[in-house]
Structure 1
Amino acid sequence: MSDLQIGLIVLGVALIVVVLGLNWWQDRRVRNKMQATFSPAQEDPLLGDAAPEPVVKTKPVKKAAPVPTERVEPAWQSAATDDAAPEADDEDVFRREPAVGAGTVSRVDEDQPDTAVEALIDLGFARPVPGRDLLPLVRELDRVGQKPLRVFLRTVDGDQFLKLRLDRDYVSLQIAVLLANRSGALTASEWAQAWSRAERIAEQLDASIEGPDPAHVAEHARQLDELCAALDTSVGLTLVPQRPQPWRVAEVLAQAHDAGFVEGTDPDRLEWRDERGAVRFVLVHPASEARGGAVAGRVSLLLDVPRHAASDTAFADMAHVARQLADVLEAGVVDDNGQPLADGSEGAVDAHLRRLYGQLAENGLKAGSPRAVRVFA
């Protein structure tokens, strides 16, 4: 090997060492800057572990830890038998994994931010701000990307409200950012958008702004998304016409109302509710699937397990209503796999659903609760 070759090798090694050293120095500089920005907290509201505490920020967050966006939904599986799972009380707890065991109990109050499934950005005003001055600033705080926002406002009297009143003066507000829903975990971009909007308000009102470590938010969002994906299940039944001509939409709607369905918040769906008014399952509005809303080729009933109220006979009730409609509409009933609904299958399916209801309740996501409806949207 010539002296030239040896020299080139030495030079290459030296260049590699220089590049590695430069990368290490830049990484250390970024870490030191982040540590100087955020201070440690006493306890994390989502997981209960030690975590960084919100501190005053003066610039919007530009980067956050990457969050997995791919979501894998569980496949439906039937069970032969199972005992009814115990129903959790209103003081449910969110835990990292869908496993049994005791944990710290937290009450879910719709008038308060839900720290189990929402990350909070706090703004404190230097002086009371009239509601009419806040109104144009909070109008844009509805959602970021695919994640909804909730705004909680505190008055000078210490009362906290979800809705702004023009005749009140406010001393602070909190922006609650949903950590995960069926679109996936909260992304770094969505969190940065929320922070940027909060900072614009803080600059206009000369307010302090506090928020958690973006990397910590991303980790919470990832864990919540994984948990919800493991518990997310829906069961459907479809009515298929057995007569040559398709149904008229008006006929389907009339028979659906006679079977107990009522109009709901979604214009494309009718709701079947129990005696307490809780939604148990829905009928997909046939007009949304038909050209011009004149005819319909099939009708679908859907039981959204996390979003609809739990019942020991959830699937059996839906199957009973589906068969009633099938009789008057001259239709057959098939399951999600396109197979005819077998007589006596309701017991096995409901046994499996009871187990899922129990897992949801154990993990603080009681079926049909406001928290579950918010997360499984």
Structure 2
Amino acid sequence: MSNLTVALAILGGLVLASVVGYNAWMSRRSAPRQPDAPNGDRPETVSAPLSRDEEPVLHVAGHPVAGAERHEPLFDPDLPAPSALPIPTADRRGGLDPLIDVIAPITLEGLASGDAAIAAMPATRRAGSKPVAIEGLNEHTGEWEPAAPGQRYGAFQAGVQLANRTGALNEIEYSEFVVKAQAFADAVNGAPEFPEMLDEVARARELDQFASAHDAQLSFVLRALHAAWSPGYVQQNAARLGFVAGIIPGRMVLPASELGLPPILGLSFDTQAALADDPAQSAIRELTLSLDVPQVDRAERPFARMRETAATLAREMDGLVTDSDGQLLREETMDAIGADLEQLYDTLDSRELSAGSPLARRLFS
């Protein structure tokens, strides 16, 4: 074998090794980033040997969750289960208010029991797409409240919401409300007094125009610059900023400071990646950070926290913050958005529809 043949063989081997090494490097580089390994400070569990009559079972040392015996598996064992999220214990949407509701008073011949009122309630509490509510004037407290067993009421009032994000109350929905309220009044021996339909529909359109012009739902898109992310990697980094797993796969939320209120921010990524058989191999190249402005009290500093969260995640996860069209969001753009939001907050305050208030949460829903 000549020296030339040997040299060519060696050169071919080197080229082949280089190609294999390059492919391995590219494969490793393009693989989704994985969450950091546990720090190892957890106590190890030692399983006792099974007796011959004992069936084998799987023991999982998870975080205890009050009020729940089981929870769905998570990508990161350090994250709390969805069932650990604060659960609202009461309806915080507020009572009927003439600012955003049509209210029809119902006079009674005498007192009515809460049990009778509950039995007479309409089967569905909606007229079209608008919520319907009936409240009673409590004999003892003198307060309007939803009918409760064991209480007695001297009067009732039925209401339907003038507008929400589906649009303004229309004539058909108003007529459906009248039918339901009349049926309830007949059942409790009451006499309803309905406002003029055309006046209320006109008021609904005016409120809907205002709400449409002052509704704001913001979103930032965080895009991976180089390597993609695994669901566990996203969850781990978001959890460090206070996010917890939501009910929907692929969604996390930043809880409000007060129990039962809507979350301050939402973070979402591909649901299919979250539900994959092997989430560690799922590649996520972008995630969305969202803020529903009218739903969150301005005292929570929602937009400032949204900016801080986006900047931190971009830095820690090697990403880029853009809008939904892929345009880079610069600091001056963020400042302009923040200034516009302050004006929006002031306008909502002037109409007694402050962001995060019960009325605002009902109107912008």
What's the CA shift for 1:131? 1.8
What's the CA shift for 1:201? 1.5
- Pair 151,255 (structure 1): closer, same or farther in 2 beyond 3 Å: farther
- Pair 314,198 (structure 1): closer, same or farther in 2 beyond 3 Å: closer
Partner of 1:197: 180
Give identity over the alignment, percent. Answer: 25
Q: Deviations over 1:54-96 (max 9, x none)?
A: xxxxxxxxxxxxxxxxxxxxxxxxxxxxxxxxxxxxxxxxxxx
Separation in 2 of the partners of 1:266 and 1:148?
24
Q: Does 1:167 align with 2:150?
A: yes
What's the CA shift for 1:122? 2.0
- Pair 263,124 (structure 1): closer, same or farther in 2 beyond 3 Å: farther
Partner of 1:230: 213
Separation in 1 of the partners of 2:143 and 2:124?
17
- Pair 121,312 (structure 1): closer, same or farther in 2 beyond 3 Å: closer
Gaps of 5+ in 1: 1-108
The answer (yes or no) to whether the contact 1:147–1:178 under 8 Å persists in 2 is yes
What's the CA shift for 1:314? 4.5
Q: 1:292 aligns with which of 260, 267, 275?
A: 275
Partner of 1:272: 254
Secondary structure in structure 2 of the residue aligned to 1:136: helix
Partner of 2:234: 252
What's the CA shift for 1:267? 8.3
The answer (yes or no) to whether the contact 1:120–1:177 under 8 Å persists in 2 is yes
- Pair 167,312 (structure 1): closer, same or farther in 2 beyond 3 Å: closer
The answer (yes or no) to whether the contact 2:224–2:317 under 8 Å persists in 1 is yes
Partner of 1:151: 134
- Pair 307,145 (structure 1): closer, same or farther in 2 beyond 3 Å: same
Q: 1:184 aligns with which of 153, 160, 167?
A: 167
Relative to structure 2, which stretch is displaced further, 144-153 or 262-271?
Answer: 262-271
Count of residue pairs the alignment pairs up: 268
The letter of the residue matching 1:338 is: G
The answer (yes or no) to whether the contact 1:111–1:160 under 8 Å persists in 2 is no
Partner of 1:376: 364
The answer (yes or no) to whether the contact 2:249–2:275 under 8 Å persists in 1 is no
Partner of 1:319: 307
Separation in 1 of the partners of 2:290 and 2:222?
12
Which structure carries more relative contact order (alpha carbon 8 Å, separation 6+)? 1
Partner of 1:39: none
What's the CA shift for 1:113? 2.3
What's the CA shift for 1:245? 4.1
The answer (yes or no) to whether the contact 1:111–1:162 under 8 Å persists in 2 is no
Partner of 1:303: 291
Separation in 2 of the partners of 1:266 and 1:172?
42
- Pair 147,288 (structure 1): closer, same or farther in 2 beyond 3 Å: farther
Partner of 2:57: none
Q: Look at both structures and tell me which one has the larger radius of gyration over its CA atoms.
A: 2
Partner of 2:100: 117
Secondary structure in structure 1 of the residue aligned to 2:115: helix
Separation in 2 of the partners of 1:267 and 1:190?
35
- Give the TM-score of the pair, scaled to structure 1: 0.63
